[in-house]
Amino acid sequence: MASLGALGRALSHRDARIFFGASLTSWTGLWVHRIGVTWLAWEMTHSAFWVGMVSFCDLAPAVLFSPIAGAIADRMDRVKLTMLSQSVIGCEALTVATLIFTGNLQIEYLLALEMVSGTAASFAQPARQSLMPGLVPRADLPAAVACNSLCFNVARFLGPAIAGPIVAFYGVAPAVLINACAYFIATASMPFLQVDPAARRGHAPSGSILGEAIAGFRYAGNHPGIGPLLMFAAVTSVMMRGVQEVLPPFIERVFHRGADGLAMLTACIGVGALISGLWVASRGKVEGTTRLAVYAVAAQACATLAFIATGHFPLGLLAGAFMGAAGSVNGISIQTLVQNAADPGMRGRVLAMWGMITRACPAVGALLLGAAGEAFGLRLPTMVFAVLTLGAFVWGFRMLPHMARVLESRAAVRMGETHHITFGAQASVAQRRTFRISAEDVAFIDAEVQAGRFDSGGEVVRAGLAALRVQQAQARPRAAE
């Protein structure tokens, strides 16, 4: 493990190994399932629109349920919530496999069942991801986040490699059944985790679930780093990630291949993601991560343009590998920044927003691309999306110094951990005086602000510190009496 550097340190912890082993198992099953049902939808309808609809129904429930799921993950036992959600996903896969075996599956049933699975995944994602800070020391968290994404991308390679031959020789039903078994195994592993109590449950209920969900949106929107970063991720995910959700039409119409071609392309995307994920994981630090997140979007747009410009399958596979590599760097970087900068009491809700972006935005992109593909062909809409993504990159490039100062600064991370500071807003004095920090923290934050290493929201921080000093000065005489 030592030879793996930061990644080895993350994997040196027993609970982390159990957690990531379960993640790899469930996500491998998930990718086997996705290859199976998207190909089945294509065989049933031969319509890019319906293939996009299958992806949409799996991913879109995140729009409705992720905010609520994040609030629930911040107020209840996250291990139990993860187990319940994963059990539902396993049962959904078992139902789909049974309907295929019996010959009773129709496209309408498939869409409804994928919505059930997507809803359960919306609850599993924030609950499961919020457990990571309770499995490894704080210093190893960036590597743990990268390792988590790495598991997803290893699964993205293994899943298609398993699904391709199974679908080709035995049909879709056994592939979907593998997913059911994988999720039941992952669920059974959860009770073996020894999670730090602070990470296992965010806080005691302090209000309604809806109110806490709204507070999560307000927190992220007012945060000068998390807010712009998530907005950037949402826009670029709609335009870029949808391509990977509607691969069957590309395989047949652009490259004139079958299910084997779909498995090969998906596996190449996974290989690219795996290689870049290993590199990001080996960094084991936050500094420079914002730059990686922004520049990876431009690389992904260029790789997508190359993918759609060629009809030669080997070149398409190479472009797909670069698409996967850029997407992996972007996803790992954003999740690392969010995990580091978010307040622990808000972590579940912020991660739920990230989950909503990674699930709902590709779903919207897949639906738009599928519908446009039926009207204009696949190449033109994809090229338009890629060019628009490069325009979004220009905005992200201009915001890069501001976001990096906020998200990567030691002061920003430390304040996000321990203090409820109202960023980017004119907080009232009463709000400022709710801060509870030590004299050491006051000196640390003040030094960071004065040195210019944390300037966004600096006036609010200074005013809060001034109020704290007044309180501390008034408290000393009373204590002496």
Token output for 181? 């078994």
Q: Is 162 exposed, middle or buried (CB count within 10 Å of its CB: 0-12, 13-18, 19+)?
A: buried
From first to last of its 481 residues, the chain has per-residue pLDDT tens of 444 556 677 777 888 889 999 999 999 999 899 888 988 888 888 887 888 788 788 877 877 787 788 778 777 888 889 999 999 999 999 999 999 999 888 989 999 999 999 899 888 888 888 788 778 877 777 777 778 777 876 787 778 778 878 887 888 899 999 999 999 999 999 999 888 776 777 656 666 777 777 888 888 888 888 889 999 999 998 888 878 777 888 888 888 887 778 778 878 887 888 888 788 877 767 788 899 999 999 999 999 999 988 878 999 999 999 998 998 888 888 888 887 777 766 777 787 788 778 777 887 888 888 888 778 888 888 899 999 999 999 999 999 988 888 887 654 444 444 333 433 333 333 333 334 444 444 555 555 555 554 443 444 455 555 555 555 565 555 555 5
Q: Are residues 313 and 459 in the same domain?
A: no
The count of domains in the chain is 2
Q: Which residue has the tokens 């398409």?
A: 316
| Strand, coil or helix: 425 | coil
What's 350's domain CATH number?
1.20.1250.20
Q: Are residues 375 and 426 in the same domain?
A: no
Q: Are residues 147 and 295 in the same domain?
A: yes
Is residue 113 included in any domain, yes or no?
A: yes
Calpha distance 231→221 (Å, rounded): 9
Q: Are residues 74 and 215 in the same domain?
A: yes
Calpha distance 120→206 (Å, rounded): 25
Q: Are residues 187 and 84 in the same domain?
A: yes
Q: Are residues 436 and 348 in the same domain?
A: no
Is residue 199 included in any domain, yes or no?
A: no
Q: Are residues 399 and 434 in the same domain?
A: no
What pLDDT is stored for residue 469 in this prediction? Answer: 57
Token output for 235? 């826009």
Calpha distance 247→455 (Å, rounded): 44
Q: Are residues 371 and 473 in the same domain?
A: no
Q: Is 102 exposed, middle or buried (CB count within 10 Å of its CB: 0-12, 13-18, 19+)?
A: exposed
Is residue 266 included in any domain, yes or no?
A: yes
Q: Are residues 445 and 320 in the same domain?
A: no
Q: Are residues 369 and 272 in the same domain?
A: yes
Domain boundary among the residues 349, 374, 408 is at: 408
Domain boundary among the residues 408, 434, 463 is at: 408
Calpha distance 40→67 (Å, rounded): 31
Please give the backbone phi and psi of residue 428, each rounded to the nearest 5 degrees, phi first.
-70, 160
Closest by CA to 52, choosing from 33, 64, 38, 35, is 38
Domain boundary among the residues 378, 408, 438 is at: 408
Q: Are residues 433 and 392 in the same domain?
A: no
Q: Are residues 465 and 354 in the same domain?
A: no
Is residue 203 included in any domain, yes or no?
A: no
Which residues contact residue 352 at a Cβ distance below 8 angstroms, ignoring those fewer than 6 apart? 66, 67, 69, 70, 71, 73, 122, 125, 126, 216
**Tens digits of per-residue pLDDT, 8-34?**
777 778 888 899 999 999 999 998 998
Given a contact cutoff of 8 angstroms between Cβ atoms, the answer to whether 244 and 272 are in contact is no
Please give the backbone phi and psi of residue 203, each rounded to the nearest 5 degrees, phi first.
-165, 160
Calpha distance 93→473 (Å, rounded): 62
**Tens digits of per-residue pLDDT, 175-201?**
999 999 999 999 999 999 888 776 777
Buried b (16+ CB within 10 A) or exposed e, 10-37: bbebebbebbbebbbbbbbbbbbbbbbb
**Structural domain of 446:** 421-480
Closest by CA to 385, choosing from 243, 203, 172, is 243
